[in-house]
A and B are shown apart, each in its own frame.
Chain A
Amino acid sequence: MDAEAIRSERDSGTPLIELIGITKRFPGVLANDDITLTVERGEVHCLLGENGAGKSTLISILSGMTVPDAGIIRIGGTETSMNSPRHALDLGIGTVYQHATLVPTLTVLENLILGNTTGVRLNEAEGLRRLDELASILGADVDPHAVAGNLALDEQQVIEIIKALWKGKAALILDEPTSMLTPAGVGELASMLQRLKGTGLGIVFITHMLHEAIEMGDRVTVLRQGRVVGTIAPAELRSTDSERLRDRIVEIMFGEEANELSDVAELHVEAFESISQDEPDSGGGPGGQVQSVGEPILKLERVSLEPSQSSHGLHEVDLTIAEGEILGVAGVGGNGQKELAEVLAGQRPIDSGSISLRYNGAFIQIGRLGVHSRHEMGLRYLSDDRRGEAVVGTMSVAINLVLKRIGKPPFWKRQIIQHAEVWQHAEATIKEFDIRTPGPDTNIGKLSGGNIQKAILARETASDPRIVVYNKPTHGLDIRTSLAVRERIRQMAADGVSAVVISNHLEELLDLCGRIAVVSKGRIVGIVENGPNAERRIGDLMVGAFAL
Chain B
Amino acid sequence: MSEALITALLVGAIAAAVPLMLAGLGELISERAGVLNVGLEGMMLMGAYGGFVVALATGSTWMGFIGGAVAGGLVSLVMVVLCVRWGLDQIVVGIGILLGVEGLTSLLHAAQFANTYPRLGKAAAPSIPWLSDIPVVGRVVFGEPYMVYVTLIAVFVAGWVLRKTPWGLAIRATGESPEAVDAAGVNVVLVRSLATLSAGVLAGLGGAYLSLVSSGNFIPLMTGGRGFMALVLAMLARGRPIWLALGALLFGFATALTTALQIFGIDIRPEIVNSLPFVVVLVVLTLFGRDDYLPSSLALPYVRGER
Chain A interface residues (CB < 8 Å from chain B): 60, 63, 65-66, 84-86, 88-90, 95, 97, 99-106, 110-111, 113-122, 163, 167, 387, 393, 445-446
- A114 near B184 with CB under 8 A, answer yes
- Neighbour of A163 across the interface among B177, B182, B184, CB < 8 A: B184
Q: Which residue of B lies closest to A87 (CB)?
A: B185
Cα(A246)–Cα(B247), bound, Å: 65
Q: B129 an interface residue at 8 Å Cβ cutoff? A: no
- A115 near B170 with CB under 8 A, answer yes
Chain A interface main SS type: loop
Q: Which residues of B contact A105 (CB under 8 A)?
A: 172, 176
Q: Give B214 Cβ to nearest chain A Cβ, in Å.
A: 35
| 9 pairs of A and B residues whose beta carbons are closest in the complex | A115-B184, A86-B185, A115-B186, A101-B180, A89-B185, A103-B173, A101-B183, A103-B177, A103-B176
Render B269-307 as a binary contact track against A, CB cut-off 8 A, 1 for contact. 000000000000000000000000000100000001101
CB<8 Å pairs between A and B, sample of 7: A89-B185, A103-B172, A104-B177, A115-B184, A115-B185, A118-B166, A393-B307
Q: B194 an interface residue at 8 Å Cβ cutoff? A: no
Cα(A66)–Cα(B304), bound, Å: 9
Q: Give A220 Cβ to nearest chain B Cβ, in Å.
A: 26
Q: B89 an interface residue at 8 Å Cβ cutoff? A: no
Render B158-185 as a binary contact track against A, CB cut-off 8 A, 1 for contact. 0000001110111011001101111111
- B183 near A95 with CB under 8 A, answer yes
- B179 near A114 with CB under 8 A, answer no
Cα(A267)–Cα(B113), bound, Å: 82
- B166 near A117 with CB under 8 A, answer yes
Number of A-B residue pairs, CB cutoff 8 Å, is 82
Contact (A65, B304) CB under 8 Å given A114-B173, A121-B164, A122-B165: yes
Question: Which among B179, B183, B184, B304 has the greatest number of chain A C-beta atoms within 10 A?
Answer: B183
Q: Which residues of A contact B179 (CB under 8 A)?
A: 99, 101
Q: Which residue of A lies closest to B176 (CB)?
A: A103
- A101 near B177 with CB under 8 A, answer yes
Q: Give B191 Cβ to nearest chain A Cβ, in Å.
A: 10
- B176 near A114 with CB under 8 A, answer no
Q: Give B134 Cβ to nearest chain A Cβ, in Å.
A: 38
Q: Which residues of A contact B170 (CB under 8 A)?
A: 114-115
Q: Which residues of B contact A66 (CB under 8 A)?
A: 305
Chain B interface residues (CB < 8 Å from chain A): 164-166, 168-170, 172-173, 176-177, 179-187, 296, 304-305, 307
Q: Give A4 Cβ to nearest chain B Cβ, in Å.
A: 17
Q: Which residues of A contact B187 (CB under 8 A)?
A: 86
Q: Give A51 Cβ to nearest chain B Cβ, in Å.
A: 14
Cα(A114)–Cα(B183), bound, Å: 10
Q: Which residues of B contact A116 (CB under 8 A)?
A: 184
Q: Which residues of B contact A97 (CB under 8 A)?
A: 183
Q: Give B188 Cβ to nearest chain A Cβ, in Å.
A: 10
- A120 near B165 with CB under 8 A, answer yes
Q: Give B160 Cβ to nearest chain A Cβ, in Å.
A: 9
Cα(A382)–Cα(B207), bound, Å: 53
Q: Which residues of A contact B177 (CB under 8 A)?
A: 101-104
- Neighbour of A106 across the interface among B165, B173, B186, B307, CB < 8 A: B173
Cα(A480)–Cα(B164), bound, Å: 50
Contact (A110, B169) CB under 8 Å given A104-B177, A115-B181: yes
Cα(A32)–Cα(B55), bound, Å: 61
Q: Which residue of B lies closest to A66 (CB)?
A: B305
Contact (A113, B185) CB under 8 Å given A101-B177, A101-B179, A121-B164: no
Q: Give A161 Cβ to nearest chain B Cβ, in Å.
A: 13
- Sample of 14 more A-B contacts, CB < 8 Å, known A104-B176, A446-B307: A85-B183, A88-B185, A101-B183, A103-B173, A106-B172, A113-B169, A114-B169, A115-B170, A115-B181, A116-B184, A121-B164, A167-B185, A387-B307, A393-B307
Q: Which residue of B lies closest to A65 (CB)?
A: B305
Q: Which residues of A contact B182 (CB under 8 A)?
A: 65, 85
Q: Which residue of A lies closest to B295 (CB)?
A: A105
- B186 near A114 with CB under 8 A, answer yes
Q: Which residues of B contact A103 (CB under 8 A)?
A: 172-173, 176-177, 180-181
